[in-house]
Amino acid sequence: MREPRRAEPPAAGPDRGLHVAIVMDGNGRWAQRRGLPRVAGHVAGARAARRVIDAASDLGVGVLTLFAFSSDNWRRPRGEVARILALLRRFLRTEARACVRAGTRLEVIGRRDRLPATLRTQVERAEAATATGAGLRLRIAVDYSGRDAILAAAARLPAEGAATREGFARCLAPGLAVPDVDLFLRPGGERRLSDFLLWESAYAELVFVDRLWPDVTRDDLAAALADFRARDRRFGGLPAPAARA
């Protein structure tokens, strides 16, 4: 049985408030290596998502965005798409309860108009049930494309007035503001962005790990955060001592 989550907010720590984005890659290969159908990899991937959400909450991550289904994933066989979407619906149902207990606010980003009505309903329920969560902000990207998100934001820009970076960011996230991605983590051995959070990741630190997503543990997230903390983030400026000189 799953362990109950902590209800209290995470302790203050060096990673508090960071935005971590994860491409959950490698489910299919994980299953194939075991002689299992691909969907078994997605089921194991959902278990990994639970582990990593708990870890993010414990480690004081502020925002966690998980790429669950890309707008290009519609190209997969209809059966696999249906199984992933059904899995997501079940995940949202159980996750919403866990999020309420943990004080996690759950949001789903991406297009909703192409999702099955039952999944849309579940998304709305999960978001409503967790709307007052003051701990981890968990965002799950479903039918999401970074380029499409930028196009949609561009269409809203005229109403915003002047074309500034801040104004554009508001168009990109018309509801609750979203901080830029600090750590972009991709397990599964591939080294690409795959159309995920393109604007928001302008200065993200990229961490790639070879382990397939279903095998990812809280230690992997902790190690990625340690790697992140060792980076010198200059945002186009100079290292701190040189900047002071």
Residues near ligand FPP (CB under 6 A) are 24-29, 42, 45-46, 49, 66, 68-69, 73, 84, 87-88, 91, 140, 188
Q: Which of 15, 25, 54, 182 is catalytic?
A: 25
Q: What is the radius of gyration, based on Cα positions, of the chain?
A: 18
For residues 25 and 182, which CB has a smaller minimum distance to ligand FPP in the complex?
A: 25
Q: Is 215 a catalytic residue?
A: no
Alpha-carbon distance values, 78 to 75, 81, 82, 130, 196 (Å): 8, 5, 6, 31, 23
**Closest-approach residue to ligand FPP (CB):** 28
Separation of alpha carbons 92 and 101, rounded Å? 14
Residue 41 or 153: which CB sits closer to ligand FPP? 41
Could you confirm whether 73 is annotated as catalytic? Answer: yes
For residue 59, report the phi and psi dihedrals to the nearest 5 degrees. -85, 0
Residues 6+ apart with CB under 8 A from 8: 103
For ligand FPP, give the closer residue by CB, 68 or 221. Answer: 68
Comparison of 147 and 231: residue with beta carbon closer to ligand FPP: 147
Location of structure tokens 């980003």: 109
| Nearer Cβ to ligand FPP (91/199) | 91
Q: What is the Cα–Cα distance from 201 to 196, expressed in whole angstroms?
A: 8
- In the bound complex, what is the minimum distance in angstroms from residue 214's beta carbon to ligand FPP? 8
Among the listed residues 160, 237, 163, the one whose alpha carbon sits nearest the alpha carbon of residue 203 = 237
Pick the catalytic residue: 15, 27, 73, 215? 73
Decide the pairing of beta strands 183-186 and 205-208.
parallel
Q: In whole angstroms, how close is the CB of 35 to ligand FPP at the nearest point?
A: 14
Token readout for 236 is 């186009």
Please list the active-site residues: 25, 73
